[in-house]
Amino acid sequence: MHKACCWLLALSGCSVSMADSDGKAPTPTTDSPPNIIVLLADDLGYGDLSSYGHPSIRTPQLDRLASEGQRWTDFYVSAPICSPSRGALMTGKYPTRSGLYGRKNGVAWPKSDTQIPDDEITLPEALQNAGYETVMFGKWHLGDKPQALPTRHGFDRWVGLPYSNDMDHPEFDWRAVKGGAMRAQFDKFMQLSADPDSRHWNVTLYSSEKTGQAYQDKIVEKPVDLSTLTPLYTKEAVSYIKQRSADNKPFFMYLAYTAPHTPIYPGAVFSGKSLRGKYGDAVEEIDWSVGQIRSALDAEGLSRNTLIVFSSDNGPDGISKDNGSAGLLRGKKGTVFEGGMRVPAIFWWPGKIKSGLVSDLGALMDVYAVSVSLAGGRVDPSKMDAVDLSPALFAGQASPRTELLYHSNSGEILGYRHGRYKILVTKDGVTKSDSSAPLLYDLQEDPSEAWDLSSKEKAVADRMMKEMQARKALIEIKEPLFDR
């Protein structure tokens, strides 16, 4: 699918003014563009890896990547819920700028008309323009109709689920969880989640491949055994790496784990092994998967020309003891408190990444700008929200990202961070409150958002409110596509 991409500099041949060479972000010197692997967990909390402080979940493979690469402490998603967060990664834009959000529906529902707009140049499409081969394994959740699938939006091949593993059960529908029936529906969901047979969740495993101008879509397994998904994705990823080792063409791989999203079904090898119960089992299985992928890169001689990024799509669900933890952060998935939007982030590239702990701001959508930069191009900051983090990644400089807008599940902008300060116009982290009485936090000293400074630091609160309004005004608000 050819798309005009004049905001994408140097990859499309469009006539666009370039910044001065002095203003260009530093990129590592390589013989060819690097391979890029993005590993994304589902509902993994900020505090769920041992390198982020979890006392009983063991993640030695991810800890090793973190010690050899960079571990970011202030890294964010663009919305505290799945689909808009993933949409921002794919487009490099806040959800409201692309339309990948909903006022009524927070996520893309099965059989809806949701899809990434055709005029959006996705991350895999941008990299295809630069000569990359692109593959995806795992959960998509940006539309399930044929025209919405990953292969229609930049991926050469995809194996995975079209949406979450909890969205296809004959006895449960999340859209019924509202009003007076909410408690009973949640109880029903938890009962179904405890079912030892994961096949009662009627989830479909698909494969899709683009060959020329044609697409081959097929159902691989329905219902799929959810306990086999992490091993299956890992096997696909390792097999692909082995196939690519003899090819000089760079590749982009997006592996979006289904785990540790509820319902949780860790694989047989990991079931009952973690001190943290089945949630810990699922996280430790992801850690094993990361180790398998790294080992495959090492074995094929690809490690020194491959960037790995590991993160999560939002904070932990928190609906039961079998879900994750945001650590010292306040809130959970679905809220614009730190626990809903601040996520683990690890960058690894031997010999290229400046190893260490980074406490500057970064965002998952910034992976878009970093990847395009490594492929030899740049993005137009007037049309994109992604920021190229290359100065921090490769030169040990400060992160170019200094601010962030906090979008709610329904696309409302409920908060803003600039530097160490965060302003909120919500009391519960979900709905807008009286903006004349905002909350102000110093996240450097108070990452738990326990102490409101709006009265004590009124001048700062006033300045932050003005900045948030000015930043909001720069974003063209698109129609909410998830409500179709």
Give tens-digit pLDDT for 36-87: 999 999 999 999 999 999 999 999 999 999 999 999 999 999 999 999 999 9
Contacts of 388 (CB under 8 A, 6+ apart): 25, 366, 369, 370, 372, 373, 378, 379, 400
The whole-number average pLDDT for the span 196-222 is 96
Contact by Cβ (8 Å): 7, 372: no
405-483 folds as Arylsulfatase, C-terminal domain (3.30.1120)
**CA separation (Å) from 260 to 88, 202, 281, 294, 303?**
21, 18, 9, 20, 27
Contact by Cβ (8 Å): 256, 127: no
- Of the pLDDT bands very low, low, confident and very high (cuts 50, 70, 90), residue 2 is very low
Tokens 């395009």 correspond to 372
Helix (H) or strand (E) holding 341: helix 338-341
Q: Which two tokens stand for residue 466?
A: 């003005």
- Of the pLDDT bands very low, low, confident and very high (cuts 50, 70, 90), residue 8 is low
pLDDT in tens, 370-390: 999 999 999 999 899 999 999
The pLDDT of residue 10 is above 70: no
The whole-number average pLDDT for the span 390-394 is 97
Share of the chain above pLDDT 70, in %: 93
pLDDT in tens, 143-178: 999 999 999 999 999 999 999 999 999 998 887 776
pLDDT at 174: 81
6 is an active site residue? no
Name the residue with higher pLDDT: 319 or 342: 342
Q: Which long-range contacts (CB under 8 A, 24 or more apart) does 17-21 make?
A: 18/378, 19/378
Count CA atoms closer than 13 A to 354's CA, side-chain side.
16
- Rounded to 5 degrees, what are φ and ψ at 306? -140, 125
Q: Which two tokens stand for residue 92?
A: 């490099």
Contact by Cβ (8 Å): 409, 106: yes
pLDDT at 365: 98
Domain at 32-168+203-396, CATH class = alpha beta
pLDDT at 427: 96
Question: Rounded distance, CA 156 to CA 20, Å?
Answer: 35
pLDDT at 114: 94
Cα radius of gyration (the chain): 21
**CA separation (Å) from 63 to 48, 158, 310, 390?**
12, 28, 11, 22
Name the nearest CA neighbour of 121 among 379, 412, 468, 476. 379
The whole-number average pLDDT for the span 349-375 is 97
Amino acid at 354: K
Q: Which of the residues 54, 141, 153, 261 is marked catalytic?
A: 141
**Summary mean pLDDT of the chain:** 93
Q: Which of the residues 82, 153, 169, 407 is marked catalytic?
A: 82
82 is an active site residue? yes
Listed by start position, the domains of the chain span: 32-168+203-396, 405-483
